[in-house]
């Protein structure tokens, strides 16, 4: 269920592992590729995933090597860089990544669009799917790759729901050629910039695009309290909705907190390319139940600061394929998947919470920080983890 990043990767994994029949049920009718936003995958995770076949070759990427942390400073149009750290990632355009994964799904996979699933059950050695059209279909196994508002999760562990982190992100992207109108901001193409301010931060980097390079940005901050939207319940806020109040607040943050050059960069974004997304945490108490299995964001929602969601979804698919190849029964497959993926999700959720605290909820005195203090602050957020971008796959 779900034909996005995790759904396509699982469909390919099942087909490669030898499934007789693979059906993807995706509710969207139009082109998923039109959702185009940026994301990054750590170079080491990408190499591991390419080796297992979960990340197909030939998908457009943009190489990133370092990350600059910047604060507003009088007399410095582009702000003061107070720290620079290695950033061994490649960025992707969501739509182009999805297209690559979709094209790599074997022709035998039936990818059905406009199929809205309303409920599932996995008891009695079969999995049953109910569709909005009023029909029901039966399978040996259902993979819930239906994202953070998962219907499959409702059946696997109804007690696990996404919890609102207390802040949102505004995100946008635009054609990188527009940067020419701002002059040289001293921004090398391979560098990611994090603009830091009290109560939030904003990550800006280039991504590939269907018509040439684009600029992608994600700004995290607490939304204004007046007229507060009901973020606590993830089903009550249509993804992407931007109200007038939230648009105005973005403008206030840019004027008040950003170095002028970086406010200008964000200001190049068209209103229709600006989105708002509440930030959630989710650790599922279980990743399988009966003949149901959870994958990608349906199983775990990690705050985006960890830059690991897509890699984790593809790793889930790799673990699934490996479990399938080793198992002789459905129960053995489900047990092996559960064992391989349970702890990884929990650890990433905890790390991303610490990153969110440090970069949004309890920001340090960035304006007076030097690089040594920044390094210590960063290590505190990692809390013993070796870095961001997800964990290596255990053999
Ligand atoms: C601001 C932000 C920045 C991010 N940055 C990064 C990054 O830099 N690196 C990274 O790796 N990850 C990043 N991520 C996370 C990443 O986008 C996801 O973790 C990843 O795409 C996995 O998604 P998925 O396929 O599990 O779920 P989704 O992409 O949510 O897909 C779920 C699919 O299921 C379908 N569906 C849902 N319900 C039903 C239903 N009832 N019936 C039928 N179909 C249904 C949906 O239409 C959708 O296509 C970021 C996320 C956010 C919010």
Handedness of CA 312, 314, 317, 319 (dihedral sign): negative
Specify the pTM: 0.95
For residue 149, give every residue at least 6 positions away whose Cβ sits within 8 Å of its Cβ, in sequence order, or none.
162, 234, 235
Look at residue 271 in the predicted model and tell me its pLDDT. 87
Query: Residue 47 class from Cβ within 10 Å (0-12 exposed, 13-18 middle, 19+ buried)?
Result: exposed
Look at residue 31 in the predicted model and tell me its pLDDT. 72
Pocket residue to mutate for ligand 1, from 40, 44, 49, 147, most atoms within 8 A of Cβ: 147
Pocket residue to mutate for ligand 1, from 8, 45, 310, most atoms within 8 A of Cβ: 310
Hey, what domains does the chain have and what are their CATH numbers? 5-44+94-162+281-359 (3.50.50.60), 62-93+164-280 (3.30.9.60)
Handedness of CA 244, 248, 254, 257 (dihedral sign): negative
Alpha carbon distances (Å) from 169 to 69, 94, 112, 193, 384: 18, 17, 31, 16, 27
Sheet holding 117-121, edge to edge: 117-121, 127-131, 136-139
Pocket residue to mutate for ligand 1, from 137, 146, 355, most atoms within 8 A of Cβ: 146
For residue 62, give the nearest of 180, 203, 202, 209 by alpha carbon.
209
Q: For residue 54, how far is its CA from the centre of ligand 1 (angstroms)?
A: 16
Q: For residue 340, how far is its CA from the centre of ligand 1 (angstroms)?
A: 21
The ligand 1 atom at the shortest distance from the C-alpha of residue 151 is 41
Q: For residues 147 and 296, is the Cβ–Cβ distance under 8 A?
A: yes
> Length of the chain, please?
395
Q: For residues 70 and 263, is the Cβ–Cβ distance under 8 A?
A: no
Q: For residue 303, how far is its CA from the centre of ligand 1 (angstroms)?
A: 12
The stretches in the chain having pLDDT less than 50 are 227
β 191-197/62-73 pair status: parallel
Pocket residue to mutate for ligand 1, from 2, 150, 235, 279, most atoms within 8 A of Cβ: 2
Q: Which residues line ligand 1 (CB under 6 A)?
A: 1-7, 25-28, 32, 39-41, 115-117, 145-147, 151, 169, 171, 218, 277, 296-298, 304, 307-311, 313
If you write DSSP's letter for every residue of 206-258 in order, what string do you get?
A: EE--TTS-EEEEEEEEPPPSTT---TTSGGGS-TT---HHHHHHHHHHHHHHS
Q: For residue 83, how far is its CA from the centre of ligand 1 (angstroms)?
A: 31
Strands in 103-208 per DSSP E:
110-113, 117-121, 127-131, 136-139, 142-144, 163-175, 191-197, 200-207
Look at residue 234 in the predicted model and tell me its pLDDT. 66
């Amino acid at each position: 269920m779900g034909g996005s990043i995790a759904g396509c990767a699982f469909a390919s994994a099942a087909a490669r592992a030898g499934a007789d029949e693979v059906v993807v049920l995706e509710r969207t009718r139009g082109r998923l590729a039109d959702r185009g936003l940026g994301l990054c995958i750590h170079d080491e995770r990408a190499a591991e995933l390419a080796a297992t076949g979960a990340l197909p070759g030939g998908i457009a990427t943009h190489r990133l090597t370092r990350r600059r942390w910047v604060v507003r400073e009088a007399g410095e149009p582009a702000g003061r860089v107070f720290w620079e750290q290695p950033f061994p990632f490649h960025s992707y355009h969501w739509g182009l990544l999805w297209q690559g994964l979709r094209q790599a799904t074997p022709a035998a996979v039936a990818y059905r669009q406009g199929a809205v699933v309303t409920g599932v059950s996995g008891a009695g050695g079969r999995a049953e799917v109910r569709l909005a059209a009023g029909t029901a279909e039966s399978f040996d196994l259902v993979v819930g790759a239906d994202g953070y508002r998962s219907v499959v999760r409702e059946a696997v562990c109804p007690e696990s729901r996404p919890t609102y982190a207390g802040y949102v992100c505004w995100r946008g992207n635009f054609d990188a050629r527009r940067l020419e109108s701002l002059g040289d901001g001293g921004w090398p193409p391979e560098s990611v910039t994090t603009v830091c301010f009290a109560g939030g931060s904003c990550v800006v980097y280039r991504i590939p695009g269907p018509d040439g390079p684009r600029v992608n940005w994600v700004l995290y901050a607490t939304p204004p309290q007046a007229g507060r939207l009901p973020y606590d319940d993830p089903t009550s806020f249509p993804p992407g909705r931007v109200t007038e109040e939230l648009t105005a607040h973005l403008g206030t943050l840019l004027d008040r907190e950003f170095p002028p050059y970086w406010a200008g960069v964000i200001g190049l974004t068209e209103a229709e390319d600006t989105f708002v997304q509440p930030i959630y945490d989710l650790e599922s108490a279980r990743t399988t139940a009966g003949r149901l299995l959870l994958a990608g964001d349906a199983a775990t929602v990690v705050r985006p600061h960890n830059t690991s969601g897509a890699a984790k979804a593809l790793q889930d698919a790799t673990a699934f394929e490996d479990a399938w190849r080793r198992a002789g029964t459905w129960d053995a497959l489900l047990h092996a998947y559960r064992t391989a993926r349970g702890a990884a999700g929990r650890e990433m959720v905890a790390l991303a919470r610490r990153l969110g605290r440090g970069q949004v909820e309890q920001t340090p005195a960035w304006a007076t920080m030097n690089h040594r203090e920044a390094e210590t602050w960063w290590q505190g957020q990692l809390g013993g983890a070796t870095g961001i971008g997800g964990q290596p796959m255990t053999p």
